Amino acid sequence: MSERSHALLSLYETLIAQVKADFSEDNSMTVKELYKLVTASKEFLAIKKQAKDDELALVEHFLKREIANYLQEQNAEELSHSPTVIAAENTLWHWLSEITDRSQIEWHEVTQDLKHNGFYQSGEIVAQGTLICTACGHQMRIEFPGVIPDCPECECEQFTREALAP
C-alpha cells in the first residue's frame, strides 16, 4: 500500500470513529444528519483535498454505507428491548398457540408432567398453559415457552400445571 493510500485510509478510519462518537453523543441522529456532520469535518476536507474524483466518490459511497450499517446495528440492539417489539412477540406467540394442534401440545405436556411428577419449579422452562402455585393457589397463564418465575403473590417456587383444554 502506498503512503498516499495509507494516509487516505487513516483519514477514513478517523471519519468512522467520528461517526461513532457523534452518534454516542446524540443517538437520535439519522444517516443523513450524521453524513452531513461528518462531511463537514476537517478529516473529510483533508480527504477531499488529497483524493482524486473517483476516489472521493468511493469514499462518499462507503461512508454512507458504513453509517447506515452502524445505525442499523445500534437500532437493532435497542429494538430487542422495545416494549412494542416485546408486545408484538407476545401477540405472535398467542396467535401461534391458537392455531396449533392442541392434541400434540397436550401429549407433549403430559410427558413433561410425568417427568416432573406433576410439579414444576421456578427457573424451569415450560411451554404454554396455566401454572398454579402450590402454596397460595395463584394462577399464572403462560402464553409461550419461557422460564417460570417465582409466584408473584407469595414468592413460592413450586407449581402444578393445569391441563390444556383441547
Q: Are 56 and 47 in contact (CB under 8 A)?
A: yes
Q: Which residue has the cell 469535518?
A: 41
Q: Give 7-61 pLDDT, tens digit per residue.
A: 777 778 888 888 888 888 887 788 888 888 888 888 778 878 888 888 888 888 8
Is residue 4 pLDDT above 80, yes or no? no
Type of residue found at 3? E
Separation CA 90–CA 112 (nearest Å): 23
Nearest one of 56, 70, 74, 73 to 12, comparing CA atoms? 56
**How confident is the model at residue 86, as a pLDDT?**
74
Is residue 108 pLDDT above 80, yes or no? no
**How confident is the model at residue 119, as a pLDDT?**
85
**How confident is the model at residue 106, as a pLDDT?**
63
- 38 HSE (CA, 13 A, CB side): 28
